[in-house]
């Protein structure tokens, strides 16, 4: 049976601001627990307000490792003013730009998980370029353009240990979902075509792949 979070962790996840549905969250948690057995950090690209981070942080705590989050906290394209996923509560009233970092920190504090997370605040390619340690999980849930999705993949997959897991969120094969899920879908196809990954699970828009070879 897949590992599942304790009721209080699941409740904190469901109460947090974000977009991942519970059944996908449970699949992500199971993958994070499995990846944690490698004894390496669990990394998330695209944090928003920390909803999915709760699950990764609890899995990291369970494994005795650290969860890493990478986000500039200014919001992705579809979260900007005028778009469907924009939340005015995430805008810094002083500068008029999105800033989800305070909400992210509150989320972790309420869940009692601050000590198990290191937040890397910056753009994914810049952080990846200076990162030089292996990770056991890469969870790609950042920008949904081809430019950003491919940059996340190219920046972080080289750091994924053999046997580690690559999780990709918002994988929507239907061309009607061009803005919200086609770029992650194309990254998912790219990973499979590379020959470096085998698929572990598919839970609606969440795909989990295991790294079994070299190349990206």
Q: Among candidates 161, 165, 168, which has minimal Cα distance to 144?
A: 168
User: 117-121 and 135-140 as β-strands: parallel, antiparallel, unpaired?
Assistant: unpaired
Q: Among candidates 169, 165, 173, which has minimal Cα distance to 196?
A: 165
List the catalytic residues. Answer: 144
Q: CA Rg, the chain, in Å?
A: 16
Check: CB of residue 200 under 8 Å from CB of residue 150: no
Phi/psi of residue 182, nearest 5 degrees: -75, -35
Whole-angstrom distance, CA of residue 106 vs CA of residue 201: 31
């Amino acid at each position: 049976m897949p590992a599942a979070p304790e009721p209080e962790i699941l409740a904190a996840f469901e109460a947090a601001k974000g977009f991942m549905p519970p059944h996908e969250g449970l699949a992500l948690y199971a993958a994070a627990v499995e990846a944690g057995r490698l004894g390496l950090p669990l990394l998330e690209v695209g944090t928003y307000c920390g909803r999915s981070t709760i699950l990764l942080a609890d899995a990291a705590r369970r494994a005795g490792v650290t969860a890493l989050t990478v986000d500039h906290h200014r919001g992705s394209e579809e979260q900007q003013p005028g778009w469907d996923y924009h939340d005015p509560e995430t805008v810094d009233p002083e500068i008029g730009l999105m800033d989800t970092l305070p909400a992210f920190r509150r989320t972790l504090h309420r869940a009692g998980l601050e000590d198990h997370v290191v937040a890397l605040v910056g753009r994914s390619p810049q952080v990846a370029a200076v990162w030089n340690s292996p990770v056991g999980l890469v969870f790609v849930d950042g920008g949904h353009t081809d430019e950003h999705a491919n940059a996340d993949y190219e920046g972080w997959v080289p750091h994924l240990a053999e046997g580690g897991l690559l999780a990709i969120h918002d994988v929507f094969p239907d061309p009607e979902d061009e803005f919200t899920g086609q770029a992650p879908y194309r990254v998912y196809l790219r990973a499979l075509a590379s020959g470096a990954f085998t698929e572990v699970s598919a839970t609606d828009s969440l795909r989990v792949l295991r790294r079994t070879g070299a190349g990206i």
